[in-house]
Chains A and B, each alone.
Chain A
């Protein structure tokens, strides 16, 4: 067996464990390549049956338009249920403060909406497309990661995870985050997308876009959610996105890669990590991701 076959078999096994062990699971769907790969894996795990879980999208309101269009098309073709909850509504209902600054990211606010939707539907397991190669705190997380009543992750108290036996037993109020593609790297995901001929949102491929040049030199796609002033430089560039998050905190990379094959070639030569190239919010502090995860972030 090829290593992609092995990674695929492992992920399918994990998805079926979720279906077998939990009563009300959900698949957290962001519209990015990792969660799209997860839907393909779910088809392999459960067809000709239905998915034993809905797709749940936490909509920050700062999405790229292409992502929402892709999401709706994919859900229609899969014939599965989609639940959308908007950060906008959480802000209003809880009286939260909108983030300020020039590049206001609603990323941290997603946690509130996520914890609310878990409570609303009493989800006992949330499947996510996180990978251990993305970030150093994620590298420490188990495949089945138990969260307490408040959605918190305690890295010191993680359950041992032995062989491929996954213990999803929880008490009321607790829930489990499950990461079936933990052992995949960014390149593995792209190789899988190529092999399975999976269609992706347009923003992953080279296109011309109006961008703001950040002090770091990174390029941010121009959007109505940015609070720009006269000093900001706006340029037209051929770019693509390596990862899909909020349009307010996800930088583009300059690239002519117009196909999955091109992107894989790009990636083989890339000297900068996925998050390093694209994320603005991880750079705020050394343990930004760990802090967010402890509080219940996906």
Chain B
């Protein structure tokens, strides 16, 4: 059985938590004891329906305020598929939590309140989801019961959203009219929406293609941990543990080890102490090399034939997540998986306007801004562009003193010749 990881996004009060509650409830994924708690709450507040949002809003502050503050993960399985739901907050203040959810999702459900139509948060969240590499979108037009299940309202919102989808070149968008509160078109088809003939949300989630298991990318591997038992039986054993980030590795592959740049051959690949002939992403493996070259945590082992960029200067798109604005010249740390290096933001080139998706010049990045920057690193990084490889094109920026995660980073350009050119005109979000 395969897994589909999806995120729900949209503005506060669009009904994201209720939608997830409804999905779980109508697909029989809620246990009796949890239902009993909801029922108790319903009696206490004297309401007619149970509050399905309480299934995901688990924090005290969330219940007090009736909003989602942090990402919740929920799991459910149907005969067709296993699902991991990331319920992300809609409030602008918590945009970084939305980015957190989107970085690991295959599909985004963008909720729109039928009464409000497409608003700034719809644009912001669609932009962020597409920027982070999500390719499958569902436009869920919710609260249709509150507009009399009117087809014209739905069609207008679809038309407005198509404009966004066009600007961002989204290839796969499916629009579904629904009411999470009443369960219309969530799991079961709606009797109230007879003009709609497409699938219910769950039917669509069960049948949408999951990104293929076979990773089409070039082989990439980074060392997480060096295994050296130093026991009597294994005095000289030394091997390199890590997760294959993309592609396939085979015994006998000629590889280059960075940062030394030396060439060698993969002698042994082990999984659970058993030798295998080959292994593929995202498997965790242990590699042994033919020659005694310098390898430590953060080193990269890549085939000589399919080489990534090895750079000390690159251009990146950042989602800035810190209250303190970023200005050019700031020193910080780049964490590229197991590799952590000192770096400096040399130039802030431009930021993306959420309303128009156009780029404009800027000299700082404020909380939740999406900016294009130039970075210089103290040691070479072995990276790919994010649009080529979601695994090796991603990094985070970390504050050296506090340890705080400051930004999500996406490698946008690494070509050395590029840096002698004028500032590019392409928009920051085109990845």
Contact = CB atoms under 8 A, between A and B. Distances in A.
B227 A272 contact: no
A171 B402 contact: yes
B225 A48 contact: no
A8 B253 CA distance: 26
A200 B60 CA distance: 36
B224 A16 contact: yes
A155 B243 CA distance: 29
A167 B335 contact: yes
Majority secondary structure, A binding face: loop
Nearest to A13: B243
A284 interface: no
A45 B84 CA distance: 24
A50 B70 contact: no
A155 B69 contact: yes
A12 interface: yes
Nearest to A275: B33
A16 B100 contact: no
Contacts of B243: 9, 12-13, 16, 164
Contacts of A273: 31, 33-34
B58 A20 contact: no
Interface string B60-89: 110100000111111100000010100000
A50 to B, nearest CB: 7
Contact of B241 (A46, A160, A185, A275): A46
A43 B272 CA distance: 8
Interface string B243-283: 10000000000000000000000000001110000001011
Contacts of B70: 140, 155-156, 158
Among B1, B225, B272, the most chain A Cβ lie within 10 Å of the Cβ of: B225
A16 B213 contact: no
B405 A160 contact: yes
B283 A160 contact: no
Q: Which of A5, A19, A136 has the most CB of B within 10 A?
A: A136
Contacts of A161: 100, 405
A111 B165 CA distance: 50
Contact of B32 (A10, A160, A271): A271
B2 interface: yes
Contacts of B297: 20
Interface string A136-166: 1101100000100000000110111111110
B403 interface: yes
Interface residues of A, number: 59
Given A5-B283, A165-B396, A167-B396, A272 B72 contact: no
B74 A10 contact: no
B228 A49 contact: yes
A102 interface: no
B1 A3 contact: yes
A156 B33 contact: no
B1 to A, nearest CB: 6
B242 interface: yes
A155 B224 contact: no
A159 B71 CA distance: 11
* Nearest 7 pairs of A and B residues by beta carbon: A276-B33, A136-B58, A169-B403, A273-B31, A12-B284, A16-B224, A49-B227
Interface of B: 1-3, 31-34, 37, 55-56, 58-61, 63, 69-75, 82, 84, 96-97, 99-100, 103-104, 213, 224-225, 227-229, 234, 237, 241-243, 271-273, 280, 282-284, 297, 321, 333, 335-338, 390-391, 394-396, 398, 402-405, 408
Interface of A: 1-3, 5-6, 8-10, 12-13, 16-17, 19-20, 43-50, 52, 132-133, 135-137, 139-140, 146, 155-156, 158-165, 167, 169-171, 174, 182-183, 185, 270-273, 275-277, 286-287, 290
21 contacts: A1-B213, A3-B82, A6-B282, A9-B243, A9-B282, A13-B224, A20-B225, A47-B272, A48-B273, A49-B228, A136-B55, A137-B59, A139-B56, A139-B58, A139-B73, A140-B59, A163-B104, A165-B394, A271-B32, A273-B33, A273-B34
